[in-house]
Amino acid sequence: MTHTPTRSLTDAADLSHAPVDITAVLDHLVREANAAAATSIGFPAAVDLDQTEVMARLGNRLWNNIGDPADPGGGAHTRALERAVVAWVADILAMPTDDRWGYVTTGGTEGNLSALHAAHRRHPTARIYYSTAAHYSIPKSVEILGARGVVISARPDGEMDYAHLAAQLRKRRRRPAIVVATAGTTLTEAVDDSARIRAALDENGVQGHLHIDAALSGIPLALDGRLRFDDAGGIASIAVSGHKFLGTPTPCGVVLIRDSMRGHGSHVAYTDTADTTITGSRCGLAAALLWHAIATHGREGHRWRASEARTLAAYAVNQLTAAGWPAWRHPHAFTVVLPTPPEPVRKNWPLATDGGTSHIICMPGVTRGQIDAFVADIAAAAPPAPIPQPRLSPEPRTSAAGG
Ligand SMILES: Cc1ncc(COP(=O)(O)O)c(C=O)c1O
């Protein structure tokens, strides 16, 4: 078989003009992705689940869940599986059965936008409070909604500064507030304490909507009972990513909003569906992949996956520290935070880096061999000056994360 030279694969003009060796192009993409996989420990996608059966059976046609998951719909769709996925995620979070709604999104970003859209419709004069450690999808959503944001400081370990939040709420106590807490911040996997956020709202007599951006940690913390969406917690919405902990081979997520706290959309005549979601056409294959991940492993299987990943993260901290590279992690976290390694190491290992700090994420499917190889490369580099260890918060408790 002839291989199209690598150079031409990065050149859109070459790819769009015949003759192109299509098989070579596709094979090249797979080879590059396979080669990158060995050092891919910087970003949070699980790689341990086998989705071949779904891709083989469903991967060759359009599955469109356009409209609301509750719509009966016609044609090829997977809404029954989508409803099962939403119910499973809501159940592990102990979300009340009589006040729940949700759908399968394109990812954590859409989930955040959908939840903040619902909150902003109910509280159009509210300010949206989020910390400096929040994901960039939060200020982006604030901008899309034409809302006003209030940025709250975060501690060095990534958790929100509650005293700063309380002070900012006090300044605007006559306005409602939409507060975004993060369960698993992007860089350190810190979990904001929703009980302390609720307390800050109550102390200042501020009405509002508490949204949890739980893109990474929502499912693992829920499986441990450490993130709860029950009546006691005062949470109004939660968004999780699907391709992170559940490792689907396409980006997706789930958003859950209390049914009593959302708009019910208008009816679209030509599709005969309710317009309740951010996008119109929606990926039914993603819902099937999520359902398959859930159905094949169940709660216990996923709990075990989370526990193995945390064990590997603890191992990575020990190995890095022993090699003279002072790493740390939150006790519940897959994420290991370390001083940014020198350039030659970063060239081999694409890490998420923010100035002097980087992280690796021991997602399910990452192996001890990968950690050992990474530590060996680091050990070959000069040890850095020690960085101060941030004061770690205690393990998120049921009440801390959601109660
Ligand atoms: C805390 C947090 N929220 C939201 C997102 C966005 O998720 P997605 O990439 O699924 O849109 C991420 C992604 O890394 C994240 O870390």
- Asked if the model's pLDDT at residue 397 lies above 90, the reply is no
Model confidence over 21-55: pLDDT tens digits? 999 999 999 999 999 999 999 999 999 999 999 99
| Straight-line distance from the first to the last Cα atom of the chain, in angstroms, rounded to the nearest whole number | 60
- Asked if the model's pLDDT at residue 141 lies above 60, the reply is yes
In a domain, 64, yes or no: yes
d(CA 22, ligand 1 centre) in Å: 33
- Average pLDDT for 222-244: 95
In a domain, 346, yes or no: no
The radius of gyration of the chain's CA atoms, rounded to the nearest angstrom, is 22
Number of separate domains in the chain: 1
Check residue 381 and give its pLDDT. Answer: 82
d(CA 386, ligand 1 centre) in Å: 30
Partners of residue 256 on adjacent β-strands: 102, 238
Total-model pTM: 0.92
Q: Quote the domain boundaries for residue 162.
A: 55-296
Return the DSSP state at 260: G
Regarding the beta carbon of 237 and ligand 1, being less than 6 Å apart is answered: no
Q: Which is more confident, 396 or 137?
A: 137
In a domain, 91, yes or no: yes
d(CA 108, ligand 1 centre) in Å: 5
Model confidence over 179-190: pLDDT tens digits? 999 999 999 999
Judge contact between 396 and 223, C-beta under 8 A: no
Check residue 400 and give its pLDDT. Answer: 35
Check residue 19 and give its pLDDT. Answer: 79
Judge contact between 396 and 224, C-beta under 8 A: no
Model confidence over 276-293: pLDDT tens digits? 999 999 999 999 999 999
Residue 207 belongs to domain with CATH number: 3.40.640.10
Regarding the beta carbon of 277 and ligand 1, being less than 6 Å apart is answered: no
- Average pLDDT for 324-338: 97
In a domain, 44, yes or no: no
- Asked if the model's pLDDT at residue 6 lies above 80, the reply is no
What is the Cα–Cα distance from 88 to 76, expressed in whole angstroms? 23
Atom of ligand 1 at shortest range from CA of 214: 1
d(CA 241, ligand 1 centre) in Å: 7
Regarding the beta carbon of 216 and ligand 1, being less than 6 Å apart is answered: yes
Check residue 249 and give its pLDDT. Answer: 96
Model confidence over 164-208: pLDDT tens digits? 999 999 999 999 999 999 999 999 999 999 999 999 999 999 999
Model confidence band, residue 96 (pLDDT cutoffs 50, 70, 90): very high
Q: At 39, list the tokens.
A: 């050092």
Check residue 20 and give its pLDDT. Answer: 86
Check residue 73 and give its pLDDT. Answer: 77
b/e per residue, 339-371, with b = 16+ CB within 10 A? bbbeeebeeebebeeeeebbbbbbbbbbeeebb
What is the DSSP code string of 239-259?
EEESSSTT--SS--EEEEE-G
Residue type, 232: A
In a domain, 8, yes or no: no
In a domain, 87, yes or no: yes
In a domain, 396, yes or no: no
In a domain, 31, yes or no: no
